[in-house]
Amino acid sequence: MKLTRIGVGIAKQVFQQHGTDRFGQIVGRRHLFPGRWLQALCEVAEPGCAIGIEACCGPHHWARQLRVQTFGLQ
Name 3's bridge partners: 45
CA 42, CA 69: separation in Å to the nearest integer? 8
**CATH code of the domain covering residue 64:** 3.30.420
Tell me the per-residue pLDDT of 9-42, one tens digit each, with 9 for 90 and over: 887 788 888 999 889 899 889 998 988 888 888 8
- Decide if 50 contacts 58 (C-beta within 8 A): no
Kindly report the average pLDDT of the chain as a whole number: 84
User: What is the pLDDT, as a whole number, of residue 62?
Assistant: 80
Angle between helices 57-71 and 34-44 (to 10 degrees): 50
Q: What is the pTM of this model?
A: 0.69
- Decide if 65 contacts 74 (C-beta within 8 A): no
Tell me the per-residue pLDDT of 44-73, one tens digit each, with 9 for 90 and over: 888 888 988 876 777 778 888 888 877 776
Name the domain count of the chain: 1
- Residue numbers of the domain that contains 9: 3-71
CA 67, CA 50: separation in Å to the nearest integer? 13
